[in-house]
Amino acid sequence: MLAIALIIVSFTFFQASREELGLSADLQYRTRVLTDSLKVSVSPSVLSHSTSTVQSIVDRIANNDRVIGLGVYNSDGTPIAVSNQLPDDISTNPIVTTAMDTDTPSGIFIPAQEGRVYIFVNPLHSDNRVIGALVVAQNAAYIDTTIWNIWQDNLVRLFLQLIVIGAALFALVRWVIFKPLSILTESVRAARRGETDTAPTGSHSFLMPLSSEISKISTNLKQARFAAREEARMRLEKLDSPWTAERLKEFMSAYFKNRPIFVVSYREPYVHSKGKNNTVTVSVPAGGVITALESVMEACGGTWIAYGSGNADKKVVDGDDKIMVPPEEPKYTLKRVWLTEKEVAGHYSGFSNEALWPLCHMAHVRPLFRAEDWREYRKVNGLFAKTLLNEIRHVERPLVLIQDYQLALVPAMIKKSRPDAQVAIFWHIPWPSAAQFSICPWRKDILEGLLGADLVGFHTQQYCNDFMETVGNEIESRIDFDHFSVTRADHETHVKPFPISVAFSGAAASRPEPDRSALEALGIRTDFIGLGVERLDYTKGILERFKGLEFFFLQHPEYRERFTFLQIASPSRESIAKYREYGEQVRAEAERINKEIGMRDWKPIVLENRNYSREELDPLFRIANLCLVTPVHDGMNLVAKEYVAARDEEDGALILSQFTGASRGLKGAILINPYSAENTAEAIHKALTMTPADQHRRMKSMRNSVRDYNVYRWSAELIKTLAQQD
Ligand code: ADQ
């Protein structure tokens, strides 16, 4: 359209210029002819000083349409006869005197109020002598009008053409390109999700080759899916082959005829927040429960009930407070529960994280038991139970998976109203010793809440043992150590370990080299990189780890400027004073060590206080020569398994605290006591000097164990065990 406009404007310009030249030349010619003929009658009267004759000739001619004025001047420029309309100052115009002096007729266009005027001066003669001049002023405004009309006509035409072309282009793009493309995109999307049996349709002929290629890919995809399902079906009973999302899906439909799954957790898997310019952004919060269950829900579908904590969460849900997620490829329903600030403060920050969390972790932080928090805890548990009961009201024998210590009372609440529901609760953190748990003023209520479930799951056998012992001490019940079950008032609860894991099925991925730009952006240029990833939580042993690093650099100064430790620690539970203080201590400690050990532009510790996306974490896991996982106490710890899963090349070293659940299964890790800085330093040195063969042997064994018991198997076993309960 711009090109068309340019062409038309240039043509108009040339047409207007040509027209102007033609009209001007015509005017000049006519004026010249007029003055030549007048000269013959005017010259004798000028010579005989017959002013009245000259005046009558002037008046007669000046009455003409085109002629604005006429004047006759003698040789010194004095007017002899002048018509009214002739500009007064014309006699002094140099054109008159120049024409007489040079005895040459000449003309000029001058601007006037009503448009341009053409002034023409023709000298008068007698005996070849100049005796005066005849001046004619012609109206030239019509030339401008004509030019303006040309421009106007052409611009209107251009405008109309642009409208027609624009409309035609819009129609072309909308109906011939955009519509078939969007049909094609939709059918590709549907094929990718495995939702349709039809090939892409409705494509315009020029898209046909593309459409037929996509149709072939879609058929191949369907065949591959079918093959994967068949293979998964055949492998269902062979627990030694790896579990995959596909196998889990197949398992669910084979054993449970697609009975819907309901997950209930406090934290939600997707948080919607207000961004700039009224936009909404979505993020996945850091945390083990979410990481684990997201893979399961993506594979099985169902409903996940959780607290809507994002400030734009309400904006995006439907009338029933639901939204389909993941946002880029919806697979299951997220139902949000709304809580007040007071409820969050009492239930989450208070009882869950200031009482139960320190009670269950041996991190030497005293639990705070406040009656007010306990009241909120009960209330919020009731709210979650009510929401779930409403969701399952039309569902027969629903499978319910309740998550973690924030919802300990929900199992009993559900079973009371819906005894047919099959309810499991998974406790993602350690279970303390019976003696340790006995300090909780509401220990019986918590145990009764948990024992409402048909199945209580922990990460390790040790936590199951501790739980059984606690129940034996606190609650009147029949405990069966053969089957690991507790029976109270005819209701039996099974207690079993399910070591949670990550979504790694060991598929050989020939991936391109990891992108190192994130390290460069952080100014990390050393040969060796160590990595730590966690929430800023005192149980994760970040301060202990820093002590170990300091000790290492003091003992092995040769690693200064050759080894950097990158600690990614996302802010967590910041409404709690203990967590804020811990964050400050971690930052201050990193600064102190950097000041004391750092050299030139090298810092031994680079601390990143933010949440990283999965896409950002993956290359870091792949690049890091070692990963330091040093919690002082941790139920399982997924970071250790994520590091192992990311090491496609089967190299690198994992340094792992002996106080994590993960240390039971990851035999190839270098186990340490995080309270000993010497022990940590030794392990770092061992990791940095380990031979490639040793790294390979250890990593291979750890990858096998993570692959064999990945999160798909974790959920399959949890759900299968739950479904087997009466
Ligand atoms: P968490 O205490 O949250 O989990 P963990 O198991 O290590 O601890 O899981 C943390 C998850 O969050 C990992 O997937 C990790 O990658 C991610 N994460 C941590 N910090 C991050 C950051 N800065 N940026 C991005 N992602 C980050 C609880 C228990 C654990 C148990 C899990 C699962 O405390 O013992 O293993 O639940 O049951």
What CATH number is associated with residue 415?
A: 3.40.50.2000
Both 524 and 485 in one domain: the answer is no
At residue 433, the 3 state secondary structure works out as coil
At residue 320, the 3 state secondary structure works out as coil
Both tokens of residue 487?
């029976």
304 pLDDT above the threshold of 70: yes
234 pLDDT above the threshold of 80: no
The per-residue pLDDT of the chain, averaged, comes to 90
Ligand 1 pocket, 571 CB below 6 A? no
Residue with CA closest to ligand 1 atom 19: 534
Both 457 and 545 in one domain: the answer is no
Confidence at residue 591, expressed as pLDDT on a 0 to 100 scale = 97
Query: How distant, in Å, are the alpha carbons of 288, 362, 500, 651, 673 from that of 628?
Result: 17, 20, 20, 15, 12
- pLDDT confidence bin for 45, thresholds 50/70/90: confident
* Between 651 and 194, the higher pLDDT residue: 651
Both 491 and 536 in one domain: the answer is no
Determine the average pLDDT of the residues in 698-726: 91
Both 68 and 132 in one domain: the answer is yes
- pLDDT confidence bin for 190, thresholds 50/70/90: confident
Determine the average pLDDT of the residues in 129-154: 91
- pLDDT confidence bin for 78, thresholds 50/70/90: confident
Residue with CA closest to ligand 1 atom 33: 288
610 pLDDT above the threshold of 90: yes
CA-CA distance, 545 to 635, in Å (whole number)? Answer: 18
Range of the domain at 493: 248-497
Give the tens place of pLDDT for each residue, 418-435: 999 999 999 999 999 999
CA-CA distance, 463 to 496, in Å (whole number)? Answer: 9
Confidence at residue 322, expressed as pLDDT on a 0 to 100 scale = 97
* Between 62 and 408, the higher pLDDT residue: 408
Instruction: Give kind and range of the element (H or E) at residue 228.
Output: helix 208-235
Residue to substitute in 267, 284, 291, 570 for testing ligand 1 pocket (most ligand atoms within 8 angstroms of CB): 291
Tell me if 346 is assigned to some domain. yes
Residue to substitute in 290, 353, 639 for testing ligand 1 pocket (most ligand atoms within 8 angstroms of CB): 639
Both 549 and 455 in one domain: the answer is no
Gap from CA of 639 to ligand 1 centroid (Å): 6
Confidence at residue 186, expressed as pLDDT on a 0 to 100 scale = 81
Tell me if 187 is assigned to some domain. no
Confidence at residue 361, expressed as pLDDT on a 0 to 100 scale = 98
Tell me if 722 is assigned to some domain. no
Tell me if 581 is assigned to some domain. yes
Share of the chain above pLDDT 70, in %: 95
470 pLDDT above the threshold of 70: yes
Instruction: Give kind and range of the element (H or E) at residue 108.
Output: strand 106-112
Tell me if 665 is assigned to some domain. yes
Report the nearest atom of ligand 1 relative to the CA of 639: 7
Gap from CA of 119 to ligand 1 centroid (Å): 94
Q: Which of the listed residues 438, 467, 497 is the one where a domain comes to its end?
A: 497
Tell me if 545 is assigned to some domain. yes
Q: What is the CATH number of the domain that holds 42?
A: 3.30.450.20
CA-CA distance, 570 to 566, in Å (whole number)? Answer: 13
460 pLDDT above the threshold of 60: yes
- pLDDT confidence bin for 49, thresholds 50/70/90: confident
Report the nearest atom of ligand 1 relative to the CA of 428: 38
Both 449 and 544 in one domain: the answer is no
Determine the average pLDDT of the residues in 7-21: 94
Confidence at residue 507, expressed as pLDDT on a 0 to 100 scale = 67
Gap from CA of 606 to ligand 1 centroid (Å): 20
Confidence at residue 21, expressed as pLDDT on a 0 to 100 scale = 94
204 pLDDT above the threshold of 70: no
Ligand 1 pocket, 191 CB below 6 A? no
Instruction: Give kind and range of the element (H or E) at residue 273.
Output: strand 271-274
Q: Where does residue 676 rank: exposed (0-12), middle (13-18), buried (19+ CB within 10 A)?
A: middle
Q: Which of the listed residues 139, 161, 196 is the one where a domain comes to its end?
A: 139
Ligand 1 pocket, 636 CB below 6 A? yes
Q: Which of the listed residues 139, 171, 193 is the one where a domain comes to its end?
A: 139
Give the tens place of pLDDT for each residue, 82-116: 887 777 677 667 888 888 888 899 999 988 878 88
CA-CA distance, 194 to 227, in Å (whole number)? Answer: 13
Both 11 and 60 in one domain: the answer is yes
Residue to substitute in 293, 538, 638 for testing ligand 1 pocket (most ligand atoms within 8 angstroms of CB): 638
365 pLDDT above the threshold of 90: yes
Confidence at residue 212, expressed as pLDDT on a 0 to 100 scale = 77
Both 479 and 563 in one domain: the answer is no
Determine the average pLDDT of the residues in 543-572: 97
Both 488 and 522 in one domain: the answer is no
Confidence at residue 240, expressed as pLDDT on a 0 to 100 scale = 65
Both 407 and 463 in one domain: the answer is yes
Residue to substitute in 535, 568, 629 for testing ligand 1 pocket (most ligand atoms within 8 angstroms of CB): 535
Number of domains in the chain: 3
Determine the average pLDDT of the residues in 633-651: 96
268 pLDDT above the threshold of 90: yes
Both 473 and 529 in one domain: the answer is no
Ligand 1 pocket, 292 CB below 6 A? yes
Tell me if 189 is assigned to some domain. no
Report the nearest atom of ligand 1 relative to the CA of 570: 23
* Between 209 and 480, the higher pLDDT residue: 480
6-10, 60-64, 147-151, 273-277: least confidently modelled range: 60-64
Give the tens place of pLDDT for each residue, 352-363: 999 999 999 999
* Between 369 and 719, the higher pLDDT residue: 369
Residue with CA closest to ligand 1 atom 32: 288
448 pLDDT above the threshold of 80: yes
Ligand 1 pocket, 291 CB below 6 A? yes
Both 527 and 454 in one domain: the answer is no
Tell me if 80 is assigned to some domain. yes
